[in-house]
Structure 1
Amino acid sequence: MRIPALVFLSAVLAFTPNFAAAQPAKVTLTPAIVYAGAPELIRVHVPGARSIDGEWLGRKIAFFAKDGDWFALAGVDVEAPIGPSTLHVIVRTANGSEDLSRSVPILQAHYRTGTLTVAPKFVEPPAEAQARIKAESEFKEKVFSTSAERPLWQGDFHAPVTAEATDSFGTRRMFNGKLASVHKGADFRAGVGTPVHAGNSGVVVIARPLYFEGNCVVIDHGLGLYTLYMHFSRIDVKEGQRVKSGDPLGLSGATGRVTGPHLHWAVRWQNAYLDPIKLLKMDLSEIP
């Protein structure tokens, strides 16, 4: 008996494994839904890849290899434009290059507007402070222009203090009635003298008093990723010192532009400021 061709083809398809569905996506983002201000883990799965070039919203992405895949810990700045964006990914193999660029929609995160009162000198700095502020700005720009060429962080990031974090990231802040900036970090309710610890391993690149930040520590985690700790009452590390996750950095305080004692903790990647609380919730335990 002859089986009609259409019936035969249907039977074959029904019992043929769906190899396309079984193949992992070549480029994945975690979290899959991207909000302004969110950190993102980018994974590229291309067997035999020798190198990867990446760029997103004008920022270069540096990938590193791990167990046959390539990863980058990146993100979208809190003030990034809302709407479609293009994540550029070019993979180079022994046989040439492959363009894996994809469109990534960026959604609006809803942030509050807060009003604070601080010393007038931190809203309109006096003339005698201008030279210091300019010098510190140039110093910070130089520090952030170079980063370790490999990831120095290991595993998950951890909160720098055992204290409650306020819902302050992304808040549009009015200082003394004037819109000053968008709050680009998380504030922890830490009293003066609370021990502050490194959120992950890296190298201390700033450990000194600054005009707005007060006593400040910055750690380079490699590939353009930094964590910033502000308003210390005492700094216990030195610039150039290597630290591990959980190492003591100093004691929290109320130095710089503050309304009271707390720890300001920020995450910076390639000049983009990311939500530290979202970074704490990311599972990075298997990477690198």
Structure 2
Amino acid sequence: MTGCRFFGLACLVYLAATSSFAQQHSKAKSVVSLTPAIVEAGSPELIVVAEPHAKSLSGEWLGHKIEFFQRGEKWVALAGADVEAAVGPSTLRITAELDGGIQLDLSQPIEIHPAHYRTGKLTVSPKFVEPGPDELKVIAADADIKAKVFGASAAEPLWLGDFRAPVRAAPTDSFGTRRMFNGKLASIHKGMDFRAPMGTVVRAANSGVVVLARPLYYEGNCVIIDHGLGLYTLSMHFSRIDVHEGQRVVAGDRLGLSGATGRVTGPHLHWAVRWEGAYLDPGKLLRLNLNAIR
């Protein structure tokens, strides 16, 4: 047997062996879990992959890149399905890289179920429904600012443990509500409203970096915190902001006081959760047990 033929045969044997190993290894030891197990439009999802031999993990779901980080022998990611995500079948794609360049396909089908949201009617100042030319310039400038903020998330998780409610006030079930402003369908409500009286202290729900602390047209006085890997929380309508951009915060730190600035019908706190452009149900994030993966 010539050297070339022997080398070719050896390569085939190696490829067959590594492929067989990867398949057996995947079936025997790799476990992918999602919490909540029933995925609805708007659901935040804790994805945990038990793959102790992986050197790295990469993922993609619903057009968004999933960034995993390691906790002990497990790999973890916080992701989610946008409130306006199409219901039906989807594919969560996960690839684990093992020693020797072996790649393990851990992809699985995910069914996205509909979430049932109501329609609400509100009356606000006409300028927030049909803004004039000057207001449109401000809105466009705000959009540019937010695009820059959301395009530069930290490359590591900054959050630690469970997320906490930002105020001591009763929340509403307003997330996902189809909102009619002055009789016109304007938007889907992409956050949770808290019945916070004027001057209620608003606190950071988890650790991160303040990446925006300024007034915006619709949001009023607004604070955005980057929690890393594309995850943000947004607090709106402050009467006063007590933090500055670039400031590091931990859960419980004071951000400011609730108010009625921006497009509102009265004093309250609007609190939103955004991951890679997808808006997720804040109430479900608050119910996730994240302390186990500190």
- In structure 1, the residue matched to 2:18 is none
In structure 2, relative to structure 1, the CA distance for the partners of 1:25 and 1:113 (3 Å cut) is farther
Instruction: In structure 2, give the amino acid aligned to 1:117.
Output: T
| 2:55 matches 1:50 | yes
Tell me which residue corresponds to 1:267.
273
For 2:229 and 2:138, the matched residues in 1 are separated by: 29
Q: 228, 231, 249: which is aligned to 1:225?
A: 231
Paired residue secondary structure (1:27): strand
Amino acid paired to 1:141: A
Runs (5+) with no aligned partner, structure 2: 1-24
* Correspondent of 1:173 among 176, 179, 190: 179
Residue 88 of structure 1 corresponds to 93
2:40 corresponds to 1:40 = no
Amino acid at match of 1:86: T
- Work out the CA distance in 2 between the residues paired with 1:125 and 1:24: 57
Deviating beyond 2 angstroms after TM superposition, the runs of 4 or more aligned structure 1 residues are: 22-25
Partner Cα distance (1:74, 1:57) in 2 = 10
Q: Secondary structure at the match of 2:291?
A: coil
Secondary structure of the equivalent of 1:65? strand
The 1-side partners of 2:51 and 2:43 are apart by 25
Deviation at 1:286, TM superposition (A): 1.9
Which of residues 185, 199, 207 in structure 2 aligns to 1:201?
207
Shift of 1:47: 2.0
Is residue 67 from structure 1 mapped to residue 75 from structure 2 by the alignment? Answer: no
- 8 Å CA contact 2:29–2:51 kept in 1: the answer is no
Give the gaps of 5 or more residues in structure 1: 1-19
Instruction: Give the share of equivalent positions with the same residue, in percent.
Output: 66
Match of 2:159 among 145, 153, 158: 153
Q: Distance in 1 between matches of 2:29 and 2:216?
A: 47
Q: CA deviation at 1:276?
A: 0.3
Match in the other structure for 2:82: 77
Q: What TM-score, normalized by structure 1, do the two folds share?
A: 0.91
- Tell me the C-alpha RMSD between the 2 structures: 1.3
Q: Which residue of the other structure, out of 187, 190, 194, is the alignment partner of 2:193?
A: 187
What is the CA-CA distance between 1:25 and the residue it aligns to? 5.4
Aligned to 1:248: 254
2:33 equivalent to 1:28: yes
Output the CA distance in 1 between the equivalents of 2:274 and 2:232.
Answer: 5
SS in 2 for 1:286: helix
Match of 1:105 in 2: 111
Counterpart CA distance in 1 for 2:135 and 2:259 is 22
CA distance in structure 2 between the partners assigned to 1:268 and 1:229 by the alignment: 11
For 1:118, the equivalent position in structure 2 comes to: 124
- Provide the secondary structure at the position in 2 that maps to 1:141: helix
What is the distance in 1 between the residues matched to 2:190 and 2:50? Answer: 32
Structure with the bigger percentage of helix: 2
Q: CA offsets per residue over residues 185-221 of structure 1, 9 Å max, x none?
A: 0000001100000000000000000000000000000
1:91 counterpart letter in structure 2: A
Per-residue CA distance 1:204-243 (angstroms, 9 max, x = gap): 0000000000000000000000000000000000000000
* Cα offset, 1:68, TM superposition: 1.1
Deviation, 1:23, is: 6.2
